[in-house]
Amino acid sequence: MRRTFQIMLTAFIMLAVQMYPAAAQSGTLGLADGFSTFNTSKFNVQLVKDSQTLYSLTPAGSSFNFIPTDMMTSRQANGNYHLGESRSRKVGSTAWVSGDSSTSRKKLTPATVSGSTLAAANLAPTLPTTSLLNITRRWVSVSSGVQLLFDVTNSQTTAVEIGSLGAPLEFNNIFTGRSAAQTNTLCSLFDPYIGQDAGFVQVTPLLGTLPPLVVTPVGKSPLEGWRFLPESTAATPFYQSQTFEGIY
């Protein structure tokens, strides 16, 4: 058991939602504008330049990709969830206000970064104008893996209650259009342990011989819930079809 855990730690990505106190198929993802590539000590990472969402994630020295990169052109519309999106729901004076970075996607302006930060951008352009929160997303390389961090500040002059904060996790569990051999070689299945600060998501390549990817909270960002994210079922790769389990 201990041995397995150590193997998992050799290849993992961390996820955080860091909090600071108050003070269809037409492509909007930006695939045509290209990708940013970062080869870190643990992972080769590619982000879509415009959206800074994850395009590919391959452990250093491996050719196994945890992300459905080859399906990205079929999943570049508004409402298709990718790793790096943010979803939140806040209470206003009377009603909850939702903010979802995938609903009406806009190109982001990359922030100037240095040191271990690979990329960062404020999400304001791609959040609704009604958003009560100011969210900056950062991708950071650390010795143990790659961190995805969200810096959330209250952009209002009054207190805002955050009802929920979530981040979609997209991995390659898309079997559609693949032979059994391709599915076995390319795809992973993923499962959460909803264990608060000890929570994690394990992404296991179907091949059975490759180390799994483990997504863990950074600092105090407990894994409190796990739920299905609905997407359009109108176009291939037919979301939630028999061979596409869905993104959670």
Ligand X SMILES: *[C@@H]1O[C@H](CO)[C@@H](O)[C@H](O)[C@H]1NC(C)=O
The reply on whether position 224 binds ligand X by CB under 6 A is no
Q: Which is nearer to ligand X, 117 or 153 (CB)?
A: 153
The reply on whether position 130 binds ligand X by CB under 6 A is no
The reply on whether position 164 binds ligand X by CB under 6 A is no
* Distance (Å, whole) CA 106 – CA 127: 8
Question: Measured from the CB of residue 88, what is the shortest distance to ligand X in angstroms?
Answer: 14
HSE-CB at 94 with a 13 A cutoff on CA atoms is: 0
The CA angle 127-203-48, to the nearest 5 degrees, is 40
The reply on whether position 109 binds ligand X by CB under 6 A is no
Interface pick for ligand X out of 98, 136, 144, 184 (rule CB under 6 A)? 136
How many other CB atoms sit within 10 Å of the CB of residue 84?
26
Q: Mark the segment that binds ligand X (CB under 6 A) among 6-14, 147-155, 163-171, 181-189.
A: 147-155
Interface pick for ligand X out of 4, 6, 10, 39 (rule CB under 6 A)? 39
| Helical (H) or strand (E) element with 15 | strand 12-15
Question: Measured from the CB of residue 101, what is the shortest distance to ligand X in angstroms?
Answer: 15
Interface pick for ligand X out of 40, 103, 134, 176 (rule CB under 6 A)? 134
Q: Which of 139, 92, 141 lies closest to 119 in space, CA to CA?
A: 139
Amino acid 90 reads K
Provide CB contacts within 8 A for 16, sequence distance 6+: 147, 148, 149, 150, 217, 218, 219, 221
The reply on whether position 41 binds ligand X by CB under 6 A is no
Interface residue list for ligand X (CB under 6 A): 37, 39, 44, 134, 136, 151, 153, 155
